[in-house]
């Protein structure tokens, strides 16, 4: 019964219906379509796969694991350290704002769901989505590996939904893309769990370029 409840809590956390505003962000994808970098489902798959390999695997997921372990031991100093580290990896103002705003929104929601430890993080400048997501996972008894799988799945689903709207892609093409890319998640999580502090990092220059150009895009649907 406890395992079932943890699974249900994980599904709650990764649901597109979670009121933290993830649907408002494309992480530069909108600008790649505007500039003609992405024109087809295959293009979108290559772009998203690259970001999953370089960003999620090398940065977000390993730091999420460290945040999870810090919350397990109630080591708030380590939580703050890894939150600041993750913010430092965001190369544009838009990406930093996205992480803060979604993280603070989740902190607000968790506080309203009887998790008062999240109250200080509602206005904390270095709050990230990984910070509050990992807190919820620990408090709700979701195991570490499942936490990482759920986190990257939620990111992937949002990226594919953005591609469906922007490229645009049909719903079947979007589901095919989601199916193909999700097959990589177990290996990505395994790799992320074995990354040492010294090996943290990723190279996604095109993301930084697209995001910085999106900040000046005249007409847009997304906030990043």
Cis peptide before 168 (omega within 30 of 0): yes
Average pLDDT over residues 114-134: 97
Q: Each residue of 27-68: pLDDT tens digit?
A: 999 999 999 999 999 999 999 999 999 999 999 999 999 999
Predicted confidence at residue 1, as pLDDT, reads 45
Least confident window among 19-23, 71-75, 108-112: 19-23
The answer to whether residues 185 and 152 touch, using CB atoms and an 8 Å cutoff, is yes
**C-alpha 129: how far from its chain's center?**
7
Q: Label residue 88 exposed, middle or buried (CB < 10 Å: 0-12, 13-18, 19+).
A: exposed
The answer to whether residues 100 and 89 touch, using CB atoms and an 8 Å cutoff, is no
Predicted confidence at residue 217, as pLDDT, reads 80
Mean pLDDT rounded to a whole number for the chain: 95
Here the contacts of 136-141 (C-beta below 8 Å, separation 24 or greater) are: 136/9, 136/13, 136/106, 136/110, 137/10, 137/13, 137/68, 138/68, 138/71, 138/72, 139/71, 139/115, 140/5, 140/6, 140/9, 140/10, 140/13, 141/2, 141/5, 141/6, 141/9
Predicted confidence at residue 205, as pLDDT, reads 85
Q: Which two tokens stand for residue 81?
A: 């350290």
Average pLDDT over residues 164-193: 97
Rg for the chain, CA atoms, rounded: 17
Predicted confidence at residue 2, as pLDDT, reads 58
List domains and CATH numbers for the chain: 40-195 (1.10.4190.10)
pTM of the model: 0.96
Residue 224's pLDDT band, with cuts at 50, 70 and 90, is: confident
> Distances in Å between the alpha carbon of 216 and those of 6, 59, 204, 213, 219?
42, 26, 20, 6, 9
């Amino acid at each position: 019964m406890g395992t079932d409840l943890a699974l249900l809590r994980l599904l709650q956390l990764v649901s597109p219906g979670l009121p933290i505003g993830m649907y408002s962000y494309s992480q530069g994808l909108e600008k790649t379509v505007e500039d003609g970098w992405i024109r087809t489902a295959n293009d979108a798959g290559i772009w998203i796969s690259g970001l999953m390999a370089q960003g999620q695997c090398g940065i977000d997921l390993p730091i999420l694991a460290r945040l999870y372990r810090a919350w397990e031991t109630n080591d708030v100093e380590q939580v703050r350290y890894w939150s600041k580290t993750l913010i430092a990896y965001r190369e544009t103002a838009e990406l930093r704002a996205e992480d803060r705003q979604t993280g603070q929104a989740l902190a607000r929601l968790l506080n309203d769901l009887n998790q008062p430890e999240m109250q200080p993080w509602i206005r904390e400048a270095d709050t990230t989505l990984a910070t509050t997501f990992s807190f919820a996972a620990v408090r709700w008894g979701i195991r570490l590996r499942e936490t990482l799988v759920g986190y990257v799945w939620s990111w992937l689903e949002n990226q594919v939904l953005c591609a469906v709207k922007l490229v645009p892609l049909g719903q079947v093409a979007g589901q095919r893309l989601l199916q193909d890319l999700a097959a990589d998640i177990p290996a990505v999580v395994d790799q992320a769990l074995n990354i040492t502090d010294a090996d943290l990092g990723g190279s996604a220059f095109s993301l930084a370029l697209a995001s910085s150009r999106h900040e000046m895009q005249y007409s847009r649907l997304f906030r990043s």
